[in-house]
Amino acid sequence: MSASRRPMRMNVTFHGAARTVTGSMHELQVNGRRYLLDCGLYQGRRQEANERNRRFPFPPAEVDAVVLSHAHIDHSGNLPSLVKHGFAGPIRATAATADLCRAMLPDSAYLQEKDAAFVNKRRHRRRLLETGDDDGEVQPLYTVEDVERTLPLFTEAGYHQTTALDDNVSFHFHDAGHLLGSASVLLEIRQNGRKVKLAFSGDIGRPSVPILRDPEPLEEADYLILESTYGNRLHKQNEVVLGKLAGIVNRTAGRGGKIIIPAFAVGRTQQLVLMFHQLCQQSAIPAIPVFVDSPLAINATEVYRRHKDCYDEEAARFLEDGWEPFGFQRLRYTREVSESKALNDLRGPVIIISASGMCEAGRILHHLRNNIEDPRNTVLIAGFQAEHTLGRKLVDKLPEVAIFGEPVRLRAEVVTMNEMSGHADQRELLAWVKPLARSLKKIFLVHGEPSQAEGLAAALRETYRLEVAVPARGDSVEL
């Protein structure tokens, strides 16, 4: 049989975000070509994360292209490692995603280098004290130089635009409503006169989330890789969010405390700023200062300002009315380290928004170390916290947590606002799948802890009578 007449072979292998909510990476092989859907950092226990992020289960040099759903680090953050180990193909992304990655990936490299330097300093000190010897150093996962070789590989693709990966494989981006520039992907594979359509949801946002447009439905598809972050949960309605946020601020300010908010620098920080702007306009909270303490958040906010084409009607009205969505009188952005340190000398009430969102790195660690032992203060958790992260330990209200390797007592109030989630809940995911349900042969659930994925799988089977699988890491299926 000639090469042109051979049956089409298509495999999908789930290398990351399989039965967990981090490290998104799915490999698509079509007739000897290899493509990645996302290439994210795995976040969790330090040793496990280090091993997973450094070792690819395939030769990076043999990857032909990456299709990137959005810029969050658990979806994009290991691209520099891929390049470091030989990848040199195009990285397909929307314009806003590419711009956000130009801000986020250098910041990630800087944190990798700082973290390695910090660990090496501690190891050096301990070894000299214990053995008088100091052998070997921890190397950063990747460096700023690796990022500088990665950024030129980004190739922008618009929403609803047909983009070819090769002669037989193309895709369309659709707005996922999760983050500025976020996309669901519909791949079309053609050979021997037939087509197979594979959809990848990326992360699906929620209707009526501040700033962003609502998630778009996809066209028909044969197979669907679907996120399940909150697949077994129902969020509270959006209209209660502002009232709950105002209540937290007023309660904490009443006892003279600080509100410390670990927030993803990209997406969640901008939503919080807009909401505090609204509360200030309504005089719903006291006249207290609000600080955004994250250079990355400042850079990302500039990207948000440049991509007004991605705004929903509410954010667009702010502009039409002459307001700056991400700036108001009580708001201050702090970029310099000296400014960040000075915040620890402030006495409450005050609001401090800082990264990282899962409390695993960045300036938020200093703010937590300096403030969680004071019962007047509040830690507001406004995003998903993966297993084994410091953020999850705060959500679980452990009496003592380790910060910079030292035990710190948790005496501050901890409040979780799942209402602010950028991920669709079970009801919203079922609604998003509905237009696809008639054409789908099978759904693969990813990006969810087992209880969430299995809950969504049961709901999909009951509602649409579909075949649903929850693949484990390394599982491969032929379509």
Indicate whether 440 pLDDT > 90: yes
Token readout for 126 is 């301990």
Band the pLDDT of 2: cuts 50, 70, 90: very low
Residue 46's alpha-carbon distances to 41, 116, 135, 271, in angstroms, are 12, 12, 20, 29
Mean pLDDT (whole number) for 355-373? 91
- Which pLDDT value is given to residue 326? 87
Query: Please, what is the average pLDDT of the chain?
Result: 91
Band the pLDDT of 239: cuts 50, 70, 90: low
Angular region, 176: left φ>0, alpha ψ -120 to 50, beta rest: alpha
Per DSSP, 358 falls in state: T
Kindly report, residue by residue over 70-85, the tens digit of the pLDDT. Answer: 999 999 999 999 999 9
> Long-range contacts made by residues 83-87, C-beta under 8 angstroms, separation at least 24?
83/146, 83/149, 83/150, 83/153, 84/142, 84/146, 84/149, 85/56, 85/60, 85/61, 86/59, 86/60, 86/61, 87/60, 87/61, 87/63, 87/153
- Which pLDDT value is given to residue 135? 56
Q: Where are the domains of the chain?
A: 8-233+422-478, 238-420
Indicate whether 266 pLDDT > 50: yes
Give the fold, CATH level 3, of 8-233+422-478: Metallo-beta-lactamase; Chain A (3.60.15)
- Which pLDDT value is given to residue 130? 62
Mean pLDDT (whole number) for 289-312? 93
Q: Are 195 and 189 in contact (CB under 8 A)?
A: yes
Tell me, yes or no, if the two domains 8-233+422-478 and 238-420 fold the same way: no
| Rounded CA separation 323/193 (Å) | 54
Give the Cα-Cα-Cα angle 223, 229, 231 (nearest 5 degrees): 75
Lowest mean pLDDT among 128-142, 224-238, 315-329, 413-427: 128-142
- Which pLDDT value is given to residue 45? 78
Mean pLDDT (whole number) for 253-259? 97
- Which pLDDT value is given to residue 313? 87
| Rounded CA separation 448/173 (Å) | 22
| Rounded CA separation 298/304 (Å) | 10
Residue 335's alpha-carbon distances to 26, 258, 332, 360, in angstroms, are 36, 20, 10, 19
- Which pLDDT value is given to residue 409? 97
Kindly report, residue by residue over 92-141, the tens digit of the pLDDT. Answer: 999 999 999 999 999 999 988 987 887 788 777 776 666 555 556 889 99
> Long-range contacts made by residues 182-185, C-beta under 8 angstroms, separation at least 24?
182/69, 182/70, 182/71, 182/94, 182/97, 182/212, 183/69, 183/70, 183/93, 183/94, 183/97, 183/159, 184/69, 184/215, 184/216, 184/218, 185/37, 185/67, 185/69
CATH of domain 238-420: 3.40.50.10890
Indicate whether 274 pLDDT > 80: yes
Sign of the torsion angle spanned by Cα atoms 315, 319, 324, 329: negative
- Which pLDDT value is given to residue 260? 97
Band the pLDDT of 4: cuts 50, 70, 90: very low
- Which pLDDT value is given to residue 129? 61
> Long-range contacts made by residues 395-404, C-beta under 8 angstroms, separation at least 24?
401/372, 403/365, 403/368, 403/369, 404/365, 404/369
- Which pLDDT value is given to residue 68? 98
Mean pLDDT (whole number) for 390-409? 93
- Which pLDDT value is given to residue 210? 82
Kindly report, residue by residue over 326-348, the tens digit of the pLDDT. Answer: 888 889 999 999 999 999 899 87
Q: Give the number of other Cβ atoms within 10 Å of residue 46's Cβ.
A: 12
- Which pLDDT value is given to residue 353? 97
